[in-house]
Amino acid sequence: MQRWPVLLFLAWVCFLFFAGIGLFMSGFLLTRIELASSSSCSDPLVPPPWERQSLPPGSCWAPQRFAKAVLVIIDALSFEFAHFNPAKASPLPYENKLSFLHRLATSQPRHARLYRFRADPPTATMQRIKGLTTGSLPTFIDVGSNFATYAIQEDNLLAQLVQNGRRVVFMGDDTWEGLFPKKFFRSYFFPSFNVKDLHTVDDGILQHLYPTVDSGEWDLLIAHFLGVDHCGHKHGPDHPEMAKKLTQMNEMLRSLVDHLGNDTLLLVAGDHGMTETGDHGGDSEKEVNAALFVYSKTPLFGTSPPEEPEAIPQVNLVPTVALLLGVPIPYSNIGEVMAELFSGDGDAVSTALQQLSVYHINAKQVDRFLHSYSLVAQDLPAEQLQRLQELFSGAMEEHTQLLAQVQGETLVPPELESRLGSLISRFQLYLREARAVCAQSWARFHPLRMVGGCTLIAASCLLCYVASELAASSGSFYRSCLLYPLLWGLVVAVLLGLAHAFTQEGLDLLLVLSWAAAASQLGFFWHWWGQYPKRARLVGSQPPLATVSLRQRLRAWLRLAFPMGILLFRCGAMFSDSFVVAEARVAPFLLASLVMLLVGKLHWDGRLTVPEGPKQQLLGFSYRREIWYLLCLVAMFLVCVRLSGFFHQCREEIPQCRPSLFLSPLASLRNTRAKNLFYLLCVALLAGLVYAVRSWLRHYGNLNSSDPLVLFVRWCFPLVVLCIACYWAVASSADDSLGKLQELVQVAVVAFPWAVYGLASVGLLLLLCNPMTVFAKDTRESAGSIVTPYLGVPSSEVDFLHVIPQIYKRMQESQKSRLERGSCKATVAAYGLGSVYSAALVIALTLLGFLLMLLHSERLSLAFLLLFLEAFVLLHIHTRAKGLAGDAEPFSVPWYAVISWLLAASQFFYSTGHQPIFPAIHWNAAFVGFHLDHSTNLLPAVLVGANTFASHILFAVGCPLLLLWPFVCEMPSSQRKKPKKEPQEELQEVEEHMMEMRLRESPEKFSTALLQLGLKYLFVLGTQLLACVCAAMILRRHLMVWKVFAPKFLFESLGFMVSSICLLLGISLVMRVDCAVSTWFSQLQLR
């Protein structure tokens, strides 16, 4: 068996796809250009002050209105949380809890005001921090670095304060430490990633907040609370814990106001909102609708607040705070000042003049940024820049004329007030249109890279299809189709590297790898086209068309058309946002349709009807049994598909959808009886899974030996179930109901998952070291002495009573062996050898299933049990359908089986509570077995990735079962009743039932079959990926691109990478078993 060439070829094909994904992603998800320029007090943005007006000391660009400011960020503070509605008699847990804000706003309307604080998507914490400090718009791809932050290089509010000698003190979320290194005069960072921890960050802030405020050793104090956000992730907003946390924030604000001085501005803001399930990251109304509360002990506003709170973009906070504190506005800001905060205590005209002054500064700063940005980038449309320039020039001309008239005192107050209001409106229009132009244009694409990536992926799909058809017909396949293309790619990579070295330009590794991948693809197709004649390329191994009847040709076409039609329909649906949104229902429908079409095709081919004539008496009963068995399997499969729909997550695009109750953990259930019943059901079904696996292994003889792996399956599988059950028990208990046992529970919550991790790792290690689950029994006639209870020769009649029965028994067994086996004496009986490959995969899948179920909430274990049951039924349907179809190629897996297997993987991606959107990611998985924060980002990324792509992992690792299962079950044709044969024929009949050992009779066909199966799997995966790539590229200016198509592309790309790697691991395990079997046979021959 050629093991390494198969793995190398599949790994090379995966590399081709990875290169295409990387190249396309670099063109589709480019970040905008960040300017290195920064603002300073010496910038000529402000015209010389008119008569009797000058900047006070310590001010820059505008008079400093406040000496200090406190920015309290309550993570995920939605507007609904901050808004107070006295009319509600029975508010929800998140409503009417911040009553202190309402009291300040109503009792001191000129000192306090509440705003709707509109966040720009993506609503992840790091992107919102960037927006709140730079005044710019983070791009979509930045969401990927939400938990792997890097320092902000752009000019920002903190940098301006430090540059102008101000002291910035921070306490709270440690995300700020990576974004603003060495920017804080004093800092108190606390770990932020553990979303199950509601109190560590908040309690740490409260410990330092009031002493720091009273010390006065600060100019800007930032306190970033995380408890509300973590409570939403853990429990959701509609939970008593949320009421407790918001009440704590209310008391904190009440105490904080008492410690503030008259020269201090208080800002209470939420960085984003929260969905009904407590998540965020997207752009739904609930996610972008945060709250902002402004308060000062000195009057701030000149007018009464509006009836409905005003909605302002979050970037507007940056220029407002900068000018209020007397520092320059950050260079890349595109926000608009909140002019009402510059009203002062004068009359209407003086108030309008102050507001006009800050608008003028703001407009000149934005115009300078747009001019600088347009010089280094061309992603802002020229015609829109021209329109913005006309708006700015017109407003500036009127501003100059109006100032001249004000200095000359030629305008009466009513006319002056009207002119000032009109000019302010013109500046507002310019600033808002400038922000809109940037928001629309900063999806900066690189068309050539996008087309190149799409071409690489399409060529890789074609290569998979051609190679899968070619592998079986070529003796020199690996040399011509693997070695030569690899040499082509290597030569191109070396030439590009030398060219970069001689030109001394920066080496773009992604481009080098992409060119190398393209060259290797070209080499493959070149050798394929040149080595094989045209006729062979066109018709392959099929018989000439003249010798094939029309019905046969139609059947051959339909054999491929049905599954490929389903695949093409699924790919075409990727171009419709409605289908992508509803894919949780589309994937099961297509899977069920494919299975029903398979049954219909068998009926159309006459495979389900009882044959007429003489053969009916011989084979009729067997056919009828097979047909009914197949129909029962199909019915069971449809039930599984239907039941899987009870575990779906909802998207906000479907407002009538309600998320499944099974998605929430047992700890969220308030009914103790229901919690206990669900717990017992989950544990019972988990134990049932172990029982079913062990029964299957025992049935095929794979649990008879005393090897370490077999002993592990016997004793450690139940132990793993016990550890998972104990973890579920302690994790589902209420935090405040354990009393003195709380510390013990905290230890158990960490210890039990680690026990599962350890046991599963040991099991996988044993599987890798010795995957044989075969029990060999030596049945040769022994020449040794017979066992007796005495020493020496028999000396009495009693002694002979021990010897004679044993001699007779041995003679009887020897005679029986000769009668049954003829002249061929049995030497060794091997139990479990016929299913040795499948047994290893089943054990591996069970261990992976334990790990993945541990990373999900307790009730989703029911979905995993459905997954295993549906996969088992699919394998049997595939086996029965192949037997009924009379497939003459036992080493080939049909396309319908591969496509249905992958559709099932997509189905259970949704049926394990996932959606291809960022708010649906289960971040809790990163802390299963970890009580404190992680020291690195790699481990939580692996845990969250395993949780998200659990179905991809299981179906990819189990893909070789599509090839092995028909051999395990024996083809139905070999199980039919046959007439009585002579002893020699009976010997051949016994030898025919070799199950998976048939694969070892033709090792070359076995390796080719694994290669073909892997290529078919990658072809179907790649075709789906190609559809997502094309949809994202063609619809990149679509209204729903960042909400639907871009997330779908990212999830599909990650899913492809996970599936392809796990496919290689599954095939590698089969080859490891084959190597162990070869060693076992070698040792057997030496006996």
List the alpha helices (DSSP H) in 325-412.
Answer: 348-376, 382-408
- Provide DSSP, 71-118: EEEETT-BHHHH---TT-SS--TTSS--HHHHHHHHH-TTTEEEEEEE
Rounded to the nearest 10°, the torsion over CA 338, 340, 342, 345 is -170
For residue 1079, pLDDT over 80 is answered with yes
pLDDT value at position 146?
Answer: 39
For residue 609, pLDDT over 90 is answered with no
Which of 270-279, 679-688, 722-731 comes out lowest in average pLDDT? Answer: 270-279
For residue 562, pLDDT over 90 is answered with no
Percentage of residues of the chain with pLDDT beyond 90: 40
Which of 340-354, 415-429, 946-960 comes out lowest in average pLDDT? Answer: 340-354
Per-residue confidence band for 613, with pLDDT thresholds at 50, 70 and 90 = very low
Per-residue confidence band for 140, with pLDDT thresholds at 50, 70 and 90 = low
Per-residue confidence band for 480, with pLDDT thresholds at 50, 70 and 90 = low
pLDDT value at position 969?
Answer: 84
Distance CA 959, CA 952 (A): 10
Per-residue pLDDT, averaged over 758-766, amounts to: 95
For residue 937, pLDDT over 80 is answered with no
Which residues have a Cβ under 8 Å from the Cβ of 843 and sit 6 or more positions away?
693, 697, 709, 713, 763, 767, 773
Mean of the per-residue pLDDT values for the chain? Answer: 82
| pLDDT tens-digit map of 968-1023 | 886 433 344 444 444 444 444 444 457 888 888 888 888 889 999 999 999 999 99
Per-residue pLDDT, averaged over 114-126, amounts to: 82
For residue 1042, pLDDT over 90 is answered with no
| pLDDT tens-digit map of 520-547 | 888 888 877 776 554 344 444 444 444 4
Per-residue pLDDT, averaged over 65-69, amounts to: 91
pLDDT value at position 981?
Answer: 46
For residue 49, pLDDT over 80 is answered with no
Estimate the crossing angle of helix 895-911 against helix 615-644, to 10 degrees: 30
Residue pair 679/732 in contact by the 8 Å Cβ criterion: yes
Q: Which two tokens stand for residue 702?
A: 């794979």
Residue 830 backbone dihedrals phi, psi, to 5 degrees = -110, 115
Residue 647 backbone dihedrals phi, psi, to 5 degrees = -120, 25
pLDDT value at position 802?
Answer: 52
User: In the 8-state DSSP scheme, what is residue 787?
Assistant: P
Distance CA 1071, CA 4 (A): 9
pLDDT value at position 788?
Answer: 47
Closest CA to 1062 of 839, 853, 901: 901
Q: 651 or 1022: which carries more pLDDT confidence?
A: 1022
Residue with the two structure tokens 């274990």 = 861
Per-residue pLDDT, averaged over 415-428, amounts to: 86
Q: 991 or 557: which carries more pLDDT confidence?
A: 557
Distance CA 7, CA 1071 (A): 9
The H-or-E segment that residue 288 falls in is helix 285-288
Q: Which two tokens stand for residue 408?
A: 């000359």
Per-residue pLDDT, averaged over 134-156, amounts to: 64
pLDDT value at position 42?
Answer: 81
Greatest mean pLDDT among 79-88, 491-500, 636-645, 980-989: 636-645
- How many other C-beta atoms lie within 10 A of the C-beta of residue 522? 15
Q: Does the pTM of the predicted model rise above 0.85?
A: no
Per-residue confidence band for 962, with pLDDT thresholds at 50, 70 and 90 = very high
Q: 828 or 286: which carries more pLDDT confidence?
A: 286
Q: How far is CA 949 from CA 148, 910, 922, in A?
A: 21, 10, 11
Per-residue confidence band for 555, with pLDDT thresholds at 50, 70 and 90 = low
pLDDT value at position 980?
Answer: 46
| pLDDT tens-digit map of 183-230 | 899 999 988 767 677 888 999 999 999 999 999 999 999 999 999 988
Estimate the crossing angle of helix 950-957 against helix 836-854, to 10 degrees: 170
pLDDT value at position 888?
Answer: 57
Q: 761 or 200: which carries more pLDDT confidence?
A: 761
At residue 874, the 3 state secondary structure works out as helix
Per-residue confidence band for 777, with pLDDT thresholds at 50, 70 and 90 = confident
Which residues have a Cβ under 8 Å from the Cβ of 602 and sit 6 or more positions away?
608, 881, 884, 885
List the alpha helices (DSSP H) in 993-1045.
Answer: 998-1001, 1003-1034
Which residues have a Cβ under 8 Å from the Cβ of 1000 and sit 6 or more positions away?
1006, 1074, 1077
| pLDDT tens-digit map of 653-691 | 787 888 888 888 888 787 888 888 999 999 999 999 999
- How many other C-beta atoms lie within 10 A of the C-beta of residue 258? 8
pLDDT value at position 688?
Answer: 94
Per-residue confidence band for 157, with pLDDT thresholds at 50, 70 and 90 = very high
Which of 324-328, 347-351, 646-650, 815-819 comes out lowest in average pLDDT? Answer: 815-819
User: In the 8-state DSSP scheme, what is residue 60?
Assistant: B
Per-residue pLDDT, averaged over 838-862, amounts to: 94
pLDDT value at position 617?
Answer: 40
Percentage of residues of the chain with pLDDT beyond 70: 81
Per-residue pLDDT, averaged over 879-905, amounts to: 86
pLDDT value at position 987?
Answer: 41
Q: How far is CA 1052 from CA 13, 1024, 1056, in A?
A: 17, 8, 6
